[in-house]
Amino acid sequence: MPELPEVEVVRAGLAPAVTGARVVAVTVHDERALTRHPGSCADFEARLTGRTLVGAARRGKFLWLPLATESGPGESLIGHLGMSGQMLLRESGAPAERHERIRLDIAHPLHGELAVVFSDQRTFGSLAIDTDVPTPDHAPGGWGTDAAAVPSQVAHIARDPLDSAFDDARWRALIARKDSAIKRVLLDQTVASGIGNIYADESLWAARIHPETPARALSKRAATLLLTEVRLVLEKALVEGGTSFDAQYVNVNGQAGYFAHSLNAYGRTGLPCARCGRPIRRDPFMNRSSHFCSSCQRIRRLS
């Protein structure tokens, strides 16, 4: 599943092409791509056609394109990529993508006519038109927007660790009250958003913390170190364009990310740990897997 770096790479790629663009036409090829939309396919097409996109924003793994609104509550075109969703920029009239679900034909005052294509092989992703709600802390909703609002479907999602309004002290206080495994807490999008299986494993390896360590067993120093490593891992992944293991994750131009070459734990089962040379283990975890070094990452118990 695309995590924060992958979705941010897509957002950054979309922003210059969609900001100020008018939606000329909307074509829904598959209604399964509208599972998050409260209305019908016809409603989605009618409400979006003719609207002006005013930017591209992101919080955690959620992406949204705010819509110009003359009166009433703000609205946004919200997208979640699910397991295999892609947002691609194509020339106007370009042939349909293999797993194309929705196409927006747009006209930009500088870039001319373009197509924004939502493609999704596994059909777990979705687009929707959603009403914006104020942020409780009155800070901008996320990356790419100055508005203190988020789509209602994103309101329950916590800020991500790279957000300037992320509250470090609150994060430490939350994990200090949780008996759950620290990896489970890292994956909890209501605690901190944008971290998935790959970057949880990488951050825990970097901080030398066993994924099954109870969250509240971490000292304040260990928790602070972990948050630092989370940010470093996410920032490095952003620079390298995200992580691509197959053709599912690409940026808006269809190019793969290169962070897979920098991984120290995830996907390296049986290979030597970069610190100690012991083999990386892979254990079942929440219908997924955890990758870690059992020598460098010793489990900590509650006292």
Report DSSP letters for 192-244, one per residue. SSS--HHHHHHHHHHHT--TTSBGGGS-HHHHHHHHHHHHHHHHHHHHTT---
Residue 130 CB partners (closer than 8 Å, separation 6+):
36, 64, 75, 76, 78, 151, 152, 153
Using the predicted structure, report yes or no on whether residue 213 has a pLDDT greater than 60.
yes
Element at 283 (helix H, strand E): strand 281-285
Number of H helices, E strands in the chain: 6, 11
Which pLDDT belongs to residue 302?
Answer: 74
- As a dihedral over the C-alpha atoms of residue 181, residue 185, residue 186, residue 187, rounded to 10 degrees, the angle is 110
Using the predicted structure, report yes or no on whether residue 79 has a pLDDT greater than 70.
yes
Residue 99 is assigned to a ligand binding site: yes
Look up tokens 């939350």; give the residue: 174
145 and 176 part of one domain: no
Using the predicted structure, report yes or no on whether residue 296 has a pLDDT greater than 60.
yes
Element at 87 (helix H, strand E): strand 85-91
96 and 176 part of one domain: no
Whether 89 is covered by a domain: the verdict is yes
Using CB atoms within 10 Å of the CB of residue 301, give its burial: 0 to 12 exposed, 13 to 18 middle, 19+ buried: exposed
Q: How confident is the model at residue 239 (pLDDT cuts 50, 70, 90)?
A: confident
Count structural domains, the chain. 2
Mean of the pLDDT values across residues 260-286? 91
207 and 246 part of one domain: yes
pLDDT in tens, 53-74: 999 999 998 999 999 988 778 9
Mean of the pLDDT values across residues 144-158? 96
Using the predicted structure, report yes or no on whether residue 276 has a pLDDT greater than 70.
yes
Whether 298 is covered by a domain: the verdict is no
Look up tokens 């949880």; give the residue: 200
Look up tokens 């952003």; give the residue: 238
- As a dihedral over the C-alpha atoms of residue 129, residue 134, residue 138, residue 141, rounded to 10 degrees, the angle is -10
Residue 178 is assigned to a ligand binding site: yes
Which pLDDT belongs to residue 224?
Answer: 97
Whether 275 is covered by a domain: the verdict is yes
SS3 115: strand
62 and 129 part of one domain: yes
Mean of the pLDDT values across residues 69-93? 89
- What is the domain range of residue 100? 4-154
Which pLDDT belongs to residue 4?
Answer: 86
SS3 135: coil
Look up tokens 């897979």; give the residue: 260
Which pLDDT belongs to residue 242?
Answer: 61
Average pLDDT, the chain: 91
147 and 12 part of one domain: yes
28 and 100 part of one domain: yes
39 and 94 part of one domain: yes
Backbone angles phi, psi at 136, to 5 degrees: -60, -30
Mean of the pLDDT values across residues 214-241? 92
Whether 297 is covered by a domain: the verdict is no
What whole-number percentage of the chain has pLDDT above 70?
92
Which pLDDT belongs to residue 258?
Answer: 44
Cα–Cα distances in angstroms (integers) from residue 21 to residues 100, 213, 215, 275, in the given order: 21, 48, 45, 49
The single-letter code of the amino acid at 193 is: S
Q: How confident is the model at residue 78 (pLDDT cuts 50, 70, 90)?
A: very high
Q: For residue 290, how far is the Cα from the chain centroid?
A: 20
Q: How far apart are CA 193 and CA 188, in angstroms?
A: 7
Look up tokens 């800070």; give the residue: 139
Q: How far apart are CA 5 and CA 162, in angstroms?
A: 10
Q: How far apart are CA 189 and CA 240, in angstroms?
A: 23
Between helix 220-239 and helix 168-175 the angle, nearest 10°, is 120
The single-letter code of the amino acid at 60 is: G
Residue 29 is assigned to a ligand binding site: no
- Yes or no: say if 52 and 75 are a contact pair by the CB < 8 Å rule: no
**Residues identified as active-site:** 2-3, 61, 288
Which pLDDT belongs to residue 249?
Answer: 45
- Yes or no: say if 284 and 215 are a contact pair by the CB < 8 Å rule: no
Q: How far apart are CA 44 and CA 49, in angstroms?
A: 9
Using the predicted structure, report yes or no on whether residue 163 has a pLDDT greater than 60.
yes
Which CATH number covers residue 183? 1.10.8.50
pLDDT in tens, 2-28: 788 888 989 999 999 999 999 999 999
Using CB atoms within 10 Å of the CB of residue 303, give its burial: 0 to 12 exposed, 13 to 18 middle, 19+ buried: exposed
235 and 268 part of one domain: yes
72 or 123, which is more confident? 123
Using the predicted structure, report yes or no on whether residue 282 has a pLDDT greater than 80.
yes
